[in-house]
Structure 1
Amino acid sequence: MLLKRRYLPSLGSFATFEVAAKHLSFTLAENELNVTQAAISQQIRGLEKSLGVTLFIRKHNSLELTLDGQRLLTAVSGGLDIICDAINDINAPSDPPLITCSGTNAAIACWLKPLVDRFRSERPDVRFVLLASDEDDTLRNFDEVDLSVICGNERCEVGESLYYLFSEIVQPVCSRDYLNQHGPFPDAQSLVQADLLDLHRKHWTADAIGWHPITWDDWFRASGLDLPHLSPSMISNNYPLLVNAAVRGEGIVLGWHHLVRSLMDDGALCALFDAPLHVDRGYYMKVNQASLDKPHVQEFKDFVLTGLAASEQERKPHGAATGDGP
């Protein structure tokens, strides 16, 4: 059974009615619409005839809406607003693709940001929002977050995807200038009198840091030394700050491979000798459920994973550095 198409007066008559009803004056409507008052009166009479109701009570010097007129004004105003919004959406330029990522301060600043820079050199149209916090562990659950970098946690909600990135490896690193001025440092014992940069316990107890701390004490014990009275020259709860201090030649920092690798590749930092500490936990990238069907998010995810796989194939272990290096 075919449905009959409902009959509606012209859209122009509804628009004229809205203006006249807003002003309660055909004269003011004439000024706004730039048509004659007679034309407005004709359109209103035609609309009333089509609908079979009276929309205005015509007084000597004014107009008043009838109850039917008030009902129609509410419907017409809302309908025209919806039409205008749809037209604006159609004509508005589409927003460039946006990727929102979350992680700890160090993960975002030291690991993810260089990857974002390289990705945007190929896709400058893609925008990024980088949410970094050592205190807020709920960032990964925000609806707007597409990707999260997490450590040591393989649990995943239904509909989310978790991708393994790398294991945790820690090794002492410093700048070439510091090594040339204060080295050589051939072994762990030689670091006892060096300027060590260390993370404060406040970092490891932050709400978004939910894993066991790795300190200089741990690294020395793994190297066969027990130094209970170790006194680092600088301590901070901000790892990027310590890394920047090491780059400026202020001392030696424990370098998490994924956080300092780009600086080592650029020559800003170097490994002192080949004594990495392998920690029994890994890092993962979580893709939130609402982002699984976003092409630009999947493209960035593939970019990260492909780059990691290629770098592991090509990269040779960083050997011991000497003060005589370039």
Structure 2
Amino acid sequence: MTETDGSFLKADTASRRPPKRRHLPSLGSFATFEVAAKHRSFTLAAEELHVTQAAISQQIRGLEKAIDCQLFTRKHNSMELTVEGQALLEGVTHGLDRLSDAIERISQNADRKMITIASTYAAISQYIKPLTDDYRSIVPEARFTLLASDENDRVQDFDEVDLAMICGNERSQIGDNLIHLFPEVVDPVCAPGYLAAMGPFDGPEDLLRADLMELHRMHWSSQAISWYPLRWSDWFRHHAPEIHEPAPQFVTNSYTTLVDAALAGEGVILGWRHLVFQDAAQGRLVRLFDLPLNAGRSYYLKLNRTARERQLVKDFVDFFRAEVAKAGAFAT
């Protein structure tokens, strides 16, 4: 083979190499092209990407100029891919799919020790946060993201949410993805100092001289709650229907604020057993008497279908259920 022949072969091989990556058009233009090709319409592509039709058209023209070929055949009422456009679409789809898969794998590896839990503000602050703190003392590598919302009940359905603690009734379908935890039970509770100053409280009639505090109706109308409210009127109706309960001295739509007021010795609240459990166990709040009120509802742990296959989630769910069983006091 002559030197000339060798030079020709080298030149031919070089001419068939793919373009250098640093000379490729932007990834965004390829993504825009894929959407436009899918719809065969710049208008529909603009609607999906929430940009103007002119912006789509400009990106496609820029892409065609960069690769020096026409991608669409523009007709009066429609668009079709050229042969070059079809070839590019196959490559772009394959490339973006591989990129998406790689990002998902990286994300899963990065978050393999992360558990995301959703619930209401009160449940997150008063019950779930202390529970996750206890778990991390046993499993230090575990990490948690806690998402609290009283206004958006769809948070529990977010893809990233592994677990959600929700409230439901007897029609809730218990199964692999829905685990029953405990019934919703409340008791009159207050701070020991308040009991010492204002007590003793031997029965419902003694509460007539107490400073009663309760949740505002706004709390119960929130999208993530939306249940029949539990108020002092319900408790008195159940245990002492002959007594006309006094008007509450303090009302708020924040249960955490209500608990803080009770801890500060400002009065008596209806204590949701799971929400005041830590304070009661440590003596910061005390039950006045054994007259609970069962709301007829229960709390459940809702599991994301994919998350329940992760060992870390399984282990935490086992811990969660064991802590509920150990508490025991949540049930009547």
Q: 1:282 is matched with which residue?
A: 298
The one-letter amino acid paired with 2:280 is: M
- Contact kept in structure 1, 2:213 and 2:249, CA below 8 Å: yes
Larger mean CA deviation between 203-212 and 45-54 belongs to: 45-54
Residue 126 to residue 149, structure 1, CA distance change in 2 (3 Å): same
**Distance (whole Å) between structure 1 residues aligned to residue 117 and residue 325 of structure 2:** 21
1:45–1:204 CA distance, 2 compared to 1 (3 A): farther
Number of matched pairs:
253
Kindly name which structure, 1 or 2, has the bigger radius of gyration based on alpha carbons.
1
CA, structure 1 residues 262+55, in 2 after alignment: closer, same or farther (shift >3 Å)? closer
Whole-angstrom CA distance in 1 between matches of 2:330 and 2:150: 32
Name the counterpart of 1:139. Answer: 155
CA contact (8 A) 2:236 2:245 kept: no
Distance in 2 between the 1:316 and 1:103 partners? 18
Q: Which moved more, 1:148-157 or 1:195-204?
A: 148-157
Match of 2:187 among 158, 171, 175: 171
Using the TM superposition, give the Cα deviation of residue 50 of structure 1 relative to its aligned residue in structure 2, in angstroms: 3.2
Q: Which runs of 5+ in 1 are unaligned?
A: 1-43, 57-64, 319-326
Structure 2 CA distance for aligned equivalents of residues 310 and 66 of structure 1: 67
Q: Given that residues 117 and 162 in structure 2 are in contact (C-alpha distance below 8 angstroms), is that contact kept between their aligned partners in structure 1? A: yes
Residue 148 of structure 1 aligns to which amino acid in structure 2? Answer: A
Match 1:50 to one of 5, 13, 35: 13
TM-score by length of 1: 0.68
Distance 1:145 1:186, change over 3 A: same
Q: How does 1:27-176 map to 2 (within 5 A)?
A: 48-51=11-14, 94-95=110-111, 97-153=113-169, 154-155=171-172, 161-176=177-192
- Which residue identity lines up with residue 279 of structure 2 in the other structure? L
Contact 1:104 1:134 (8 Å CA) reproduced? yes
Match for 1:136: what amino acid? N
Contact 2:236 2:243 in 1 (8 A): yes
Contact persistence 2:214–2:248 (CA under 8 A): yes
Letter in 1 for 2:256: P
- Once the two structures are aligned, what percentage of the paired residues are identical? 41
Q: Distance in 1 between matches of 2:17 and 2:167?
A: 70
Q: TM-score, normalised by structure 2?
A: 0.67
Question: 2:35 maps to what in 1?
Answer: none
* Cα distance, 1:108–1:66 mapped onto 2, change above 3 Å: closer
**Alignment counterpart, residue 207 of structure 1, candidates 223, 236, 252:** 223
Going from structure 1 to structure 2, the CA distance change for 1:94 and 1:207 (only over 3 Å counts) comes to: closer
Amino acid in structure 1 at the alignment position of 2:197: Q
